[in-house]
């Protein structure tokens, strides 16, 4: 779906409250709509770490694919320092915005490597590092991100989603994050959703799961719901390194089974060909922010290149938990 068509659809949905899927069905009664895959990434790069194979395979079979970056990764001081060649303790709001612009650009480039188009990347522009605070904010207060000093959504290589649809940014409030996700799901009518797992060590990744799960519940989503793991505990992934000939493995680390709190084998394993694994590596390498003091950052991301991608289906489990 082109960006203009997306906007037109969104406006239709807002003004007339007509499900977009119904409009499409009426317009083309004899055609079955292709699958609609939506990959939610808390930060630019998570989408390819977890789902590059899913994205390229879906695009190759003609499915619609959208990547939704919930934040632009603007809360990472060591990366802002690396991008702007400044000491970490001297980076300011403009430096975090420079990082944000770079990370948005990298996500777009990575998606194009996988066969997607720039329009397939949707930027929500919520604050990196604060998704957990937003989710837990029971009073729906506005949050100001400490690094960019922003308190409403933005994106730098295109309009952020809320501004694109509503003509003005959304305040950093819990209800707006959820509202944007509900609006996206209503419009895109996904048949498969992917988001980071709620056992992830990074709070933004867990909060992304909670928000997407809640939005899915709110719209009565009936499609497939998969999670992917990035910052697995106590350590992840295994085996280490780029191993396109080897699947992911569970291992014991200091007496504890990794990945923690997730079933192994995972309920869904999607094989990648060597060519697909090579393309996944390229898409990860398109994310190349220099991170001061973390020389292993890039190789850790590349360690997600395996002979497969693995997913969990936690919907029932989390419905019980929360
Ligand atoms: Zn992330």
In the reported structure, the alpha carbon of residue 30 is separated from the centroid of ligand 1 by a whole-number distance in angstroms of 41
Q: Say how many Å lie between the CA of residue 105 and the centre of ligand 1.
A: 16
Q: 204 C-alpha to center of ligand 1: Å?
A: 7
What is the pLDDT at residue 31? 52
pLDDT at 163 over 60: yes
Q: Rounded mean pLDDT of the chain? A: 90
CA–centroid distance, 73 to ligand 1, in Å, is 8
Cα 155 to the center of its chain, rounded Å? 15
**166 pLDDT above the threshold of 80:** yes
Give the Cα separation of 320 and 28 in Å (integer).
Answer: 39
pLDDT of residue 1 exceeding 70: no
Contacts of 231 (CB under 8 A, 6+ apart): 200, 201, 202, 205
Residues lining ligand 1 (ion), CB within 5 A? 42-43, 46
pLDDT given for residue 315 in this prediction: 56
Measure 122 CA to ligand 1 centroid, in angstroms.
16
Contact 231, 201 (CB under 8 A): yes
Which tens digits make up the pLDDT trace of 99-141?
999 999 999 999 999 999 999 999 999 999 999 999 999 899 9
Question: Using one digit for the tens of pLDDT, what is the confidence trace for 230-270?
Answer: 999 999 999 999 999 999 999 999 999 999 999 999 999 99
CA of 246 to the centre of ligand 1 (A): 24
Distance 46 CA to ligand 1 centre (A): 5
């Amino acid at each position: 779906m082109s960006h203009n068509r997306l906007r037109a659809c969104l406006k239709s949905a807002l003004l007339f409250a007509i499900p977009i899927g119904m409009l499409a069905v009426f317009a083309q009664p004899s055609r079955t709509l292709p699958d609609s895959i939506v990959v939610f990434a808390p930060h630019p790069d998570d989408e390819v770490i977890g789902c590059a194979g899913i994205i390229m395979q879906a695009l190759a079979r003609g499915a619609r694919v959208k990547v939704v970056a919930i934040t632009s990764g603007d809360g990472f001081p060591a990366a802002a320092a690396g991008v702007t060649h400044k000491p970490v303790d001297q980076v300011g709001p403009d430096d975090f915005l420079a990082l944000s612009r770079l990370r948005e650009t990298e996500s777009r480039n990575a998606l194009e490597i996988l066969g997607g188009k720039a329009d397939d990347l949707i930027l929500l522009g919520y604050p990196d590092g604060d998704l957990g605070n937003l989710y837990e904010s029971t009073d729906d207060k506005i949050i100001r991100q400490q690094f960019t000093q922003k308190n409403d959504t933005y994106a730098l290589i295109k309009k952020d989603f809320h501004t694109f649809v509503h003509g003005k940014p959304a305040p950093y409030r819990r209800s707006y994050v959820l509202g944007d996700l509900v609006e996206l799901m209503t419009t895109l009518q996904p048949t498969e959703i992917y988001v980071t797992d709620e056992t992830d060590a990074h709070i933004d990744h867990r909060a992304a799961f909670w928000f997407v799960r809640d939005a899915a519940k709110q719209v009565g989503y009936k499609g497939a719901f998969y999670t992917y793991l990035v910052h697995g505990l106590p350590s992840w992934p295994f085996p280490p390194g780029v191993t396109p000939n080897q699947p992911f493995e569970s291992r014991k680390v200091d007496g504890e089974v990794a990945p923690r709190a997730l079933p192994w084998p995972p309920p869904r394993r999607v094989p990648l060909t060597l060519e697909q694994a090579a393309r996944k590596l390229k898409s990860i390498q398109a994310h190349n922010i220099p991170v001061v003091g973390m020389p292993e950052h890039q190789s850790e991301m590349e360690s997600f290149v395996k002979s497969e991608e693995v997913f969990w289906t936690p919907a029932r489990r989390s419905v019980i938990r929360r």
